[in-house]
């Protein structure tokens, strides 16, 4: 596979940096090709602005429309187009970051804000005229693996942990961004206790990462419900007979099949 590894840590000499180097080596040994978007090293600009679109600042900026026009005309900022080329090349994305305030560091959030423009990552239309998203879209056919480190211990990020369940906290990225644009999203690798990790913990984290990377081409994705699979009504709510009476982000996963 062609793998694009997106990395958002300010310090290469960190647990995150070590895991990135280790993981890329594992992939190469497995016969895969790896390209990198090391956002801090690139000096990535995370702020969406008129200059991205060649937009005249004298005119009112409407981000969605301006980005779609600039993409269609091939005049998006060169740093955005370079990321588009990498994504077009990739069969899989690895998105790695330290969990800051229970989300992505700003430099990474701004990679999605600027790169995932309308007409490229979303807002594309299928043969039946419907806009494709949630299970289909501009980035369909690709796999995505999120790798994140958290200072908190595992129990605090579990299903009833005080911080909230990690997969719920990451829902805007996993479901709202990666699945939205059509990708198959693998369960995230959440490395907890990172602030107090010793050498044995680092080795365990590297082993856990290796296991995920070996399974990258074959692992079952999170079974999110596709928008056009019949599970949602015309007003975009889950059909009442599915996960009946329940609310919460987990209702957007299909139930596990009986074994």
Q: Does 250 bind a copy of itself (CB under 8 A)?
A: yes
**Binding-site residue total for a copy of itself (CB under 8 A)?**
65
Q: Does 97 bind a copy of itself (CB under 8 A)?
A: no
Is the Cβ–Cβ distance between 122 and 138 less than 8 Å?
yes
Nearer to a copy of itself among residue 46 and residue 187 (C-beta): 46
Is the Cβ–Cβ distance between 137 and 228 less than 8 Å?
no
Nearer to a copy of itself among residue 143 and residue 252 (C-beta): 252
Give the DSSP H/E element, type plus range, for residue 85: helix 78-89
Segment interacting with a copy of itself (CB under 8 A) among 59-67, 82-90, 202-210, 215-223: 59-67
Q: Does 223 bind a copy of itself (CB under 8 A)?
A: no
Q: Which residues contact 59 (CB under 8 A, 6 or more apart)?
A: none
Is the Cβ–Cβ distance between 97 and 108 less than 8 Å?
yes
Binds a copy of itself (CB under 8 A): choice among 156, 187, 193, 221 = 156
Q: Does 58 bind a copy of itself (CB under 8 A)?
A: no
Q: Which residues contact 257 (CB under 8 A, 6 or more apart)?
A: none
Segment interacting with a copy of itself (CB under 8 A) among 23-31, 183-191, 201-209, 248-256: 248-256
For the record, the structure tokens of 42 come out as 């690139």
Query: Cα(24)–Cα(34) distance, rounded to whole angstroms?
Result: 7
Q: Does 47 bind a copy of itself (CB under 8 A)?
A: yes
Query: Cα(30)–Cα(25) distance, rounded to whole angstroms?
Result: 9
Is the Cβ–Cβ distance between 225 and 185 less than 8 Å?
no
List binders of a copy of itself among 176-215 (CB under 8 A): 176-177, 195
- Give me the residues that bind a copy of itself (CB under 8 A), please: 10-11, 13-14, 40, 46-50, 60-64, 98, 100-107, 109-110, 112-113, 116, 134, 151-153, 155-156, 158-165, 168-169, 171-173, 175-177, 195, 227, 232, 235-238, 243, 247-252
């Amino acid at each position: 596979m062609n793998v694009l590894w997106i990395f958002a840590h300010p310090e290469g000499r960190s647990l995150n940096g070590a895991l990135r180097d280790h993981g890329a080596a594992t992939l190469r040994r497995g016969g895969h090709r790896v390209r990198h978007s090391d956002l801090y090293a690139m000096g990535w600009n995370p702020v969406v602005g008129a200059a991205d679109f060649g937009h005249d600042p004298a005119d009112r900026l409407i981000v969605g429309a301006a980005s779609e026009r600039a993409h269609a005309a091939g005049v998006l900022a060169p740093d955005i187009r370079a990321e588009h080329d990498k994504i077009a090349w990739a069969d899989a994305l690895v998105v790695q970051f330290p969990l800051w305030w229970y989300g992505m560091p700003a430099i990474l959030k701004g990679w999605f804000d600027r790169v995932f423009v309308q007409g490229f990552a979303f807002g594309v239309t299928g043969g039946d005229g419907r806009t494709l998203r949630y299970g289909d879209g501009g980035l369909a056919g690709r796999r995505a693996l999120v790798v994140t480190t958290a200072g908190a211990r595992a129990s605090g990020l579990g299903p009833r942990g005080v911080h909230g369940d990690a997969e719920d906290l990451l829902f805007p990225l996993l479901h709202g961004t990666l699945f939205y644009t059509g990708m198959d999203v693998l369960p995230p690798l959440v490395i907890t206790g990172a602030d107090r990790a010793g050498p044995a913990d680092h080795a365990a984290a590297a082993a856990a990462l290796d296991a995920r990377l070996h399974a990258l081409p074959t692992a079952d994705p999170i079974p999110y419900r596709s928008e056009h699979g019949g599970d949602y009504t015309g007003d975009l709510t889950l059909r009442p007979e599915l996960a009946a009476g329940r609310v919460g982000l987990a209702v957007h996963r299909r139930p596990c099949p009986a074994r």
